Homo-oligomer: A and B are copies of this chain.
Amino acid sequence: MIRRRGTLFVVSAPSGAGKTTLCAEVRRLIPELAYSVSVTTRAPRPSEIDGTHFSFVTEKQFDELLNAGAFAEQALVHGHRYGTRAATLEAALNAGTDILLDIDTQGAATLRKKYAEAVLIFIVAPSLAELEQRLRERRSDAAGEIARRLARAREEVAMWRSYDYLIVNRDVKDAVEQLAAVITAERCRTARLALRIPDLEDKN
């Protein structure tokens, strides 16, 4: 019997890198992977469902959660607040369930400090030119919003070095395969396995 604690798989990316699609696809491939639904004060996009994509709250509700110490990390991104519920992470880890988090670079840095054993994965578009094109193709964002996201993306790209893995999203199929491979491989890491493998080491 090999026992281990759950692992946090933290995925970050500049806007337009394709992170949301990749996370959705990898959850389809690895159905037993839990997902941390972020809490946010931003308005839902037309396709987003409350409780599935995000937990949408008011500023006041966010403050209440923050004051109650409910967040493992929280950050201000593009003028909106985002947070991860600590209780969700702890429940998964203690149950030995791996959990995927789709959060920004500030949140990832906070979680790295709290959970040294977390796996940090950074996803990038093949180039900034490609990134700009993808943001423009996303009709839901206004021109000012695109410029703001692109400026932030330029800053964020330089942060890849503080992540464990870098996935360059040239092709969605390849990138999903790489993301799934990271999760599968990390599950085989001896450093993550419990201290005893009784069956294997049984000398009787």
Contacts and interface: CB of A to CB of B under 8 A. Distances in A.
Interface range on chain A: under 10, 10 to 19, 20 to 34, or 35 or more? 35 or more
Nearest to A189: B165
A34 interface: no
Nearest to A174: B184
A182 B188 contact: yes
A178 B127 CA distance: 30
A190 B178 contact: no
| Chain copies in complex | 2
Interface in A137-195: 154, 157-158, 160-161, 163-168, 177-178, 180-182, 184-186, 188-191, 193
Nearest to A168: B2
A161 B180 CA distance: 24
A54 interface: no
B178 A184 contact: yes
Contact of A200 (B157, B189, B199): B157
A168 B1 CA distance: 11
A122 interface: yes
A164 B184 contact: no
A128 interface: yes
A124 interface: yes
Contact of A185 (B126, B165, B190): B165
A164 B190 contact: yes
Given A165-B190, A166-B193, A154 B185 contact: no
Interface in A94-120: none
Contact of A178 (B2, B165, B185): B185
Nearest to A121: B188
A202 interface: yes
Closest 4 CB pairs of A and B: A185-B185, A181-B184, A181-B181, A165-B188
